[in-house]
Amino acid sequence: MGEFSIFHWLVVLAIVLIFFGGRRIPEVMKGLGEGIRSFKDGMAGASGGAATATATQPAPASAPLGVAAKCGHGQVTITWSANPGAISYNVKRSGTSGGPYAMIASTGATTYADEGLANGTYYYVVTTVGSYGESINSVEVGATVA
């Protein structure tokens, strides 16, 4: 007593086939497997286990907005708006519109003075650096030192 014989299992199988039909059994088993997998992943996360491959990553912040350049005597001052989640900002410069840009500074402030410049036109972009990495370049601004 208390144990299922082969006859009992055949009766259970027949009842399942009557209610679900032969074509629905793979769908039911797939759903059962996904439910068990989801439960295991939830338990691993609750106990401080390793993150699963399906964990979402934080999205990188957008590039800084409001980038502007102001010329002075032998210098260009670049300013921009603060970006939430920023750890620092990378300021990049090029002598050609569209780049390539070379990083000239990394700062936690929202302003940077590029000093000691020769006469000419310079092009700047700024990126946000956060815990997720570096954002795309901001809109390019140009300034002519005379």
31 φ, ψ (degrees, to nearest 5): -60, -40
Structural domain includes residue 38? yes
pLDDT at 42: 82
pLDDT at 4: 77
**Cα–Cα distance between 117 and 136 in angstroms, integer?**
26
Band of the pLDDT at 102, cuts 50, 70, 90? very high
Helix orientation angle between 25-46 and 6-20, rounded to the nearest 10 degrees:
100
Is 86 or 26 the better-scoring residue by pLDDT? 86
Structural domain includes residue 29? yes
64 closest CA partner among 143, 141, 138: 138
Is 131 or 89 the better-scoring residue by pLDDT? 89
Structural domain includes residue 62? no
**Cα–Cα distance between 52 and 81 in angstroms, integer?**
36
Q: What value does the mean pLDDT take over residues 6-32?
A: 77
What digits encode the pLDDT tens for the residues 32-82?
Answer: 788 888 888 888 776 655 554 555 666 667 888 999 999 988 999 999 998
Residue 112, pLDDT above cutoff 80? yes
Q: Tokens for 113?
A: 């003075």
Structural domain includes residue 83? yes
**Cα–Cα distance between 104 and 67 in angstroms, integer?**
16
pLDDT at 145: 92
The chain-wide mean pLDDT, for the chain, equals 84
Structural domain includes residue 60? no
**Cα–Cα distance between 24 and 52 in angstroms, integer?**
30
Q: Is the domain of 23 the same as that of 77?
A: no
Distance, CA of 34 to chain centre: 27
Structural domain includes residue 55? no
Structural domain includes residue 32? yes
- The domain of 89 spans 68-145
- Taking the CA atoms of residue 62, residue 66, residue 72 and residue 76 in that order, the dihedral angle to the nearest 10 degrees is 10
10 φ, ψ (degrees, to nearest 5): -65, -40
Give the number of domains in the chain. 2
The reported pTM is 0.60
Is 55 or 15 the better-scoring residue by pLDDT? 15
**Cα–Cα distance between 14 and 135 in angstroms, integer?**
60
pLDDT at 56: 61
Structural domain includes residue 54? no
Q: Is the domain of 89 the same as that of 26?
A: no
